[in-house]
Amino acid sequence: MSYQIKTIGLLTSGGDAPGMNAAIRAITRAAIYHNIRVKAIYRGYKGLIAGEIREFTTQDVSNIIQRGGTIIKSARSDEFMTKEGRAKAWQSLQREEIDALIVIGGNGSFAGALALTEEYDIPVIGLPGTVDNDLWGTDFTIGYDTALNTVMECVDKIKDTASSHERVFFVEVMGRDAGFLALNSAIAAGAEAAIIPERRTQEEQLEAYIGNGFRKSKNSSIVIVSEHSEKGGAQALADKLKAQHPEYDIRVSILGHLQRGGSPTANDRILASRLGVAAIQSLLEGQRTIMVGVKDDEVVYVPLTKTINEHKDVKQDKVQALHILSI
Ligand code: F6P
């Protein structure tokens, strides 16, 4: 069924990601360009339930393309994951006469959108917004490139201390259950190894990575650890290695939320702008339950169910390249 969309609702949900503002700007301007009204929903699904909604004009999104975070705030809502919560959200949508919803977020946010459309038959369009890059069907998610560059710059700095003091550093990075940030930042920063959830790392293997570095020309080692890849994270790995090699001078650095902040890179701004325009275009074409993504530099429409259920793997040649380059 295709019907005329007069008003869209727009929200950001889950962890904020650099480039979300660029997406908000693009969605707002593309909608208004096509004579569609835009209602910004504050604080994600929480705000949708509470009715924190305001109409946006083109001025509301001026001068935000360069800003990190999200001007309409974000939240994680347990209530929306319940039928009762979604019933309240539906009431808000009806009250505001919103006839399609655009959600910028990650997997959990899309799962919420899917549940809503299954119960209330409202078109929902997802924009991939997460630093984790873990969404199937798109080569990149909004925020990932910025976070990757941030991690790389941090590791470059840590390397100065690592080499000056001849230390082993375990650097823990974000990614939830995915190793994209860890693996790619390890390659970009010239680290010795990346511990990622997609590939099991045996203790002997880890020792080999580091021992290899120390025995040869290197006087320091950097291991990037994806959070949740090992029980206890980077600290637990460091403790294990210290127990086996008390002679190593070991430090742990957990980068934390600094990876989610900052001005988006050109790549993230361009991706967010393209996908924002494409989201409105998809609604005009009668699409109802998709994520707009990018594959081989082309905009693609991916069924929301697929992106939620399929698993995106890291590239094996990158795992191999890191291994070869760490000698
Ligand atoms: O999904 C983005 C992300 O930054 C993950 O990498 C991380 O595990 C999580 O969010 C942290 O969430 P919060 O900011 O709620 O602690």
Active site residue 296: no
pLDDT band (50, 70, 90) for residue 239: very high
Closest CA to 317 of 309, 325, 327: 325
Ligand 1 pocket mutation pick from 107, 142, 176, 260 by most atoms within 8 angstroms of CB:
176
Strand order in the sheet with 7-12: 53-56, 37-41, 7-12, 100-105, 124-128, 289-295, 298-303
- Reported as half-sphere exposure (CB side, CA atoms, 13 A), residue 67 has a value of 12
pLDDT at 266: 98
Q: What pLDDT score was predicted for residue 1?
A: 44
The mean pLDDT value for 161-186 works out to 96
Which ligand 1 atom sits nearest the alpha carbon of residue 181? 6
Are 141 and 292 in contact by the 8 Å Cβ rule? The answer is no
Answer whether residue 215 shows pLDDT above 90: no
- CA 249–ligand 1 middle distance (angstroms): 30
Give the binding-site residues of ligand 1, using a 6 Å CB cut-off.
Answer: 15, 106, 130-132, 174-176, 227, 260
Q: Which residue has the tokens 């990932």?
A: 144
The residue whose C-alpha atom lies closest to atom 7 belonging to ligand 1 is 176
Q: Which atom of ligand 1 is nearest to the CA of 106?
A: 1
Contact 261, 149 (CB under 8 A): no
pLDDT band at 226 (very low <50, low <70, confident <90, very high): very high
pLDDT tens profile 58-114: 999 999 999 999 999 999 999 999 999 999 999 999 999 999 999 999 999 999 999
Q: Is there a contact between 99 and 5 (Cβ–Cβ < 8 Å)?
A: yes
How remote is the CA of residue 255 from the centroid of ligand 1, in Å? 12
Specify the amino acid at residue 327: I
Q: Report percent pLDDT > 90 for the chain.
A: 89
Mutual orientation of helices 180-189 and 316-325 as an angle, nearest 10°?
30
| pLDDT attached to residue 205 | 75
84 burial class (0-12, 13-18, 19+ CB within 10 angstroms)?
A: exposed
Strands of the sheet containing 250-254, edge to edge, are 193-195, 221-226, 168-173, 250-254
State the chain's mean pLDDT as an integer: 95
- Range of weakest confidence among 87-96, 101-110, 134-143, 238-247: 238-247
- The predicted-structure confidence for 53-68, as pLDDT tens digits, reads as follows 999 999 999 999 999 9
| Three-class SS state of 308 | helix
Choosing from 132, 134, 145, 268, the catalytic residue is 132
Return the ligand 1 atom nearest residue 76 CA: 15
Local confidence band at 309 (pLDDT 50, 70, 90 cut-offs): very high
**DSSP states along 288-302:** -EEEEEEETTEEEEE
List, as one string, the DSSP characters of 101-156. Answer: EEEEE-HHHHHHHHHHHHHH---EEEEEB-TT---TT-S--BTHHHHHHHHHHHHH
User: What average pLDDT does the segment 13-21 reach?
Assistant: 98
Do the bridges between strand 298-303 and strand 289-295 make them parallel or antiparallel, or are there none, so unpaired?
Answer: antiparallel
Residue type, 133: N
Find the 306 Cα to ligand 1 centroid distance in Å.
22
Nearest CA to ligand 1 atom 1: 15
Q: Whose CA is nearest to atom 13 of ligand 1?
A: 15
Centroid of ligand 1 to alpha carbon of 244 (angstroms)? 32
Residue type, 267: N
The DSSP annotation for 251-267 comes to: EEEE-GGGGG-SPPPHH
Q: Report residue 118 as tokens.
A: 């299954």
Least confident of 22-36, 115-129, 207-221, 223-237: 207-221
> What separation in angstroms does the CA of 230 have from each of 197, 201, 224, 233, 282?
8, 9, 12, 5, 40
174 CA to centre of ligand 1 in angstroms: 7
Mutate to test the pocket of ligand 1, among 107, 110, 131 (most ligand atoms within 8 A of CB): 131
Q: 218: which DSSP letter?
A: -
pLDDT one-digit tens code per residue, 299-308: 999 999 999 9
Instruction: Return d(Cα 101, Cα 295) in angstroms, integer.
Output: 23
Q: How confident is the model at residue 203 (pLDDT cuts 50, 70, 90)?
A: low
Contact 113, 88 (CB under 8 A): no
Q: Is the pLDDT assigned to residue 2 strictly greater than 70?
A: no
Among 229, 260, 312, which is best to mutate for testing ligand 1, by the most ligand atoms less than 8 A from CB? 260
Query: Which residue's structure tokens are 């980077």?
Result: 234
Alpha helical stretches, state H, 38-130: 44-50, 83-95, 107-120
Ligand 1: distance of its center to the CA of 175 in Å? Answer: 7
Q: How many helices and strands in the chain, by DSSP H and E?
A: 11, 11
Kindly state the average pLDDT of the residues 29-33. 98
Ordered by where they begin, the domains of the chain are 2-143+264-309 (3.40.50.450), 145-260 (3.40.50.460)
Atom of ligand 1 nearest to the CA of 14: 1
Q: Which atom from ligand 1 is nearest to the alpha carbon of 134?
A: 1
Atom of ligand 1 nearest to the CA of 228: 8
Atom 14 (ligand 1) nearest CA: 15
Dist. CA 170–CA 271, nearest whole Å: 32
176 CA to centre of ligand 1 in angstroms? 6
Q: Count CB neighbours of 208 within 10 A.
A: 12
